[in-house]
Amino acid sequence: MKRALLILALAFSGAAFAQMRGHDMGGSGGMQGMPGIPGQGGMQMGSPGSALAEGEVRRVDADAGKVTLRHDAIPSMNMPSMTMVYHVNNPAFLDQVSAGDRVRFSMEKVDGVLTATNIEPLR
């Protein structure tokens, strides 16, 4: 009996998930570019230990996979304003920016190292 109920529950849950895929939130056009809206071009927030900040690119070291950023205080990470070298988790981010660019970036500790997990130029 339990096995039959389990099979029924699994069969119906698959149908429910399939129906949800068709909902594209077509009325959310005013949310274009907002952070955290998947598929909208805005930055995605990372894990709970991540922070979103703005700053200026001081140096790009593509060979080492690092970027030097000057940023204001980031209270959520208990960081004062400073200039700091960040590792990047995706070297392709470094192709999008150059010294002097104003950027928005997210960062988090990855294996104990502060890492820029997303960087995009501000327009």
One digit per residue, the tens of pLDDT, for the chain of length 123 reads 666 665 656 665 655 555 544 444 444 444 444 444 444 444 444 455 678 999 999 999 999 999 999 998 988 888 899 999 999 999 999 999 999 999 999 999 888 888 999 999 997
Per the confidence metrics, is the pTM higher than 0.75? no
Q: Which phi and psi (to 5°) does residue 68 adopt?
A: -100, 125
Nearest to 83 by CA among 56, 103, 65, 62: 56
Structure tokens at 67: 């970027």
Domains in the chain with CATH codes:
51-121 (2.40.50.320)
Q: Which residue matches tokens 């949800």?
A: 20
CA distances from 60 to 5, 50, 71, 79 (A): 58, 22, 15, 21
Map residue 54 onto helix, strand or coil. Answer: strand
